[in-house]
Amino acid sequence: MSKLGHLLTAMITPFDADGAVNHQQAKKLAQALLDSGSDGMVVSGTTGESPALSFEEKLRLFAEIKSAVATHGAVVAGTGNCSTKESQQLTKEAEKIGVDACLLVVPYYNRPTQQGLWEHFKAIAQSTTLPCILYNVPSRTVTNIAADTVISLSQIDNIVGIKEASGNLDQIAKIIQGTKDDFLVYSGNDGDTLPILALGGYGVISVASHLVGIQIRDMMEKFVNGKAQEAASIHRHLLPLINSLFVISNPMPVKWALNYLGFPVGKPRLPLVEPDEKVAEVIRTTLKDYKIDLPIVK
């Protein structure tokens, strides 16, 4: 699954002035991300406001992005939700479109047991030939998928990795220790990327790479090539920017930043809103200290 790449951007979903998905701007953004360090993108994940997108909107977005990037970058479709049946249906349709993999979030709201999680993910994986990446983000889903459950699921051929956003490095270390070398453990928090690489992780599914993808790639490459101190220096430099992108819930800050920098992506959909002036000032002040890698295509 190395074709998926080490640096994937958790891509925002652009909207137009009327609140509809802006497919032209989405395609421009996807290409700009590839031009600024990303190996591909996750479409309709948390950062893409997946709970606010309809089934039909997601499918068209997958198709538009895949047509824009073709074979130049991986398109990972966010097809998981809290309904096993709906997740299977969306995954099957995404496979027909030709996406490269799917991202399956831990079901939210209904709070399954570990056995329920195991059966949920197994059922989705068995409904498709796509590579499946699990997504653990208990700050949003309440439920945490335990390391032992992940290790068991990794034995299913097309469950190839996990986006780990628990922030629990002990748990992440146990997953890396207990899975095969080709199981891809991605950092799901930008601030955890270097520590997870140090534990043996594979890469990151990043929000900050909307803005500083080349620098994140440089950090990871330096670490892999034995230049740990240089990698750590880049990591430390990027932390204030990363923190500013999570001062309120993602993706509100990063969408504001893109609009402010001159890459129009529209407002978030309700119930998300634009940052207030106090939060905007934090982001605006922080951005002044950084070189922006994203080509600004209006």
Mean pLDDT confidence for 24-45:
97
Q: What is the reported pLDDT for 297?
A: 60
* Catalytic entry in 163, 186, 202, 222: 163
Q: Is the pLDDT of residue 236 over 70?
A: yes
Query: What DSSP character marks residue 21?
Result: B
272-282 b/e with 16+ CB inside 10 Å = b?
A: beebeeebbeb
Set 135, 202, 222, 255: catalytic member: 135
pLDDT for 220 beyond 80: yes
CA dist 7 and 162 (Å) reads: 14
Q: What percent of the chain has pLDDT over 90?
A: 97
Q: Which residues pair with 204 in a beta bridge?
A: 7, 187
Task: Record the pTM.
Answer: 0.96
Whether the per-residue pLDDT at 14 is higher than 90: the answer is yes
In the predicted model, is pLDDT for residue 286 greater than 60?
A: yes
Residue 290 annotated among the catalytic residues of the structure: no
User: Across the strands, what pairs with 7?
Assistant: 204
Q: Where are the alpha helices (DSSP H) in 98-244?
A: 114-126, 138-141, 147-153, 169-178, 193-199, 209-224, 228-244
The answer for residues whose C-beta is within 8 angstroms of residue 64's C-beta and 6 or more apart is 23, 26, 27
Rounded CA gap, 231 and 178, in Å? 26
Is 135 annotated in the active site? yes
Where do the domains of the chain lie, and which CATH numbers do they carry?
2-287 (3.20.20.70)
